[in-house]
Amino acid sequence: MLKMNKMRNKLVAIAMVGALALPLANFVSEDYTAAAASVSKYKVSAQPFSIGGKKSSIGTINKNGSVYIALRNLNTALGLTTNFNKASQIVNVSGNGRTLEINLTNNAITLNGQPISGPPVILQNNTTYLPLRFLLERMGYVISYQNSTKQISIQGIKENELQIQAAEIGADGDGKSLLVYYPVIKGYANEKVQNKINAFLKQESNLHIAEGSKQMEKAVKENNQILATNPKAEVRLPSFDGRFTITYNENGKLSLFVDYYLYMGGAHGITTRVPYSFDLATGDLISLKDAAGNAKYISIINSQIKEQIKSRNLELNAPFNLVGANQEYYLNHDGIVIYFKQNEYTSSAEGIPEFMISYSAFK
* Domains of the chain, earliest start first: 12-156 (3.30.457.10), 163-362 (3.30.565.40)
Q: 257-269 pLDDT, tens per residue?
A: 999 999 998 888 9
Q: 170-222 pLDDT, tens per residue?
A: 988 889 999 999 999 999 999 999 999 999 999 999 999 999 999 999 999 99
Q: How much is the pLDDT for 128? A: 80
Of 114 and 14, more confident: 114
The average confidence (pLDDT) of the chain is 87
Three-state secondary structure string covering the chain: CEECCCCHHHCCCCCCCCCCCCCCCECCCHHHHCCCCCECCCCEEEEEEEECCEEEEEEEEEECCEEEEEHHHCHHHHCCEEEEECCCCEEEEEECCEEEEEECCCCCEEECCEEECCCCCEEECCEEEEEHHHHHHHCCEEEEEECCCCEEEEEECCCCCCEEEEEEEEEEECCEEEEEEEEEEECCCCHHHHHHHHHHHHHHHHHHHHHHHHHHHHHHHHHHHHHHHCCCCCEECCEEEEEEEEEEEECCEEEEEEEEEEECCCCCCEEEEEEEEEECCCCCECCHHHHHCCCCHHHHHHHHHHHHHHHCCCCCCCCCCCCCCCCCEEECCCEEEEECCCCCCCCHHHCCCEEEEEHHHHC
Q: How much is the pLDDT for 52? A: 85
| pTM of this structure | 0.85
Report residue 16's pLDDT band, with 50, 70 and 90 as the boundaries. Answer: very low
Share of the chain above pLDDT 70, in %: 88
